[in-house]
Homo-oligomer: A and B are copies of this chain.
Amino acid sequence: MPAEVIPAGSEVLPADAGTDGDPEALRTMDALVQLSFVVQAELARVAARYELSVVQARLLGILRDRRPGMLELARHLGLDKSSMTGLVSRAEKRGLVRREPSPHDGRAVLVALTPEGRALTDRAAAAVAARITELTATLTAEERALLPGVVAKLLPPAGA
């Protein structure tokens, strides 16, 4: 069972090096790292309420509007295909997803949410949204408005 997982202790790695002694860059970097730990900790905490790890939750999230093969799933999650077997099998054993033979390729299997899996996913997704919304309640309009742009600028490198 998942349980706590990374409850954001704020102390991470951040040193003074690597930023060329620029204290402003250091503060920005530190903020991003801490932010990621806080958010991940909340994700883990909420997911745990549904007996889900963050990875299982991501798996279910992907399946909301897709019916991918194991390889595509692995690509989305950044895992090896062999890791998918167990991940999907555990979810399948819980009745959250099911494997289906691909109609186009005899080697492939497609993974889909079961009705129970969809119900759980919807509840968990709502809980995550509620928690993050709660967490960001005190942000100013300006802060909210800028966040999506910040993410957009950081995202591209993720594919590199």
Identify the A interface with B (CB < 8 A): 4-20, 22, 24-43, 47, 54-55, 57-58, 60-62, 64, 75-79, 121-122, 124-136, 138-139, 142-144, 146-151, 153-155, 157-158
A35 touches B78 (CB 8 A): no
Identical copies in the complex: 2
Residues of B within 8 A of A146 (CB): 142-143, 146, 150
Residues of B within 8 A of A157 (CB): 42, 134-135
Shortest A1–chain B CB gap in Å is: 12
Return the chain B residue nearest A8 by Cβ.
Answer: B158
Most buried by B among A35, A58, A60, A124: A35
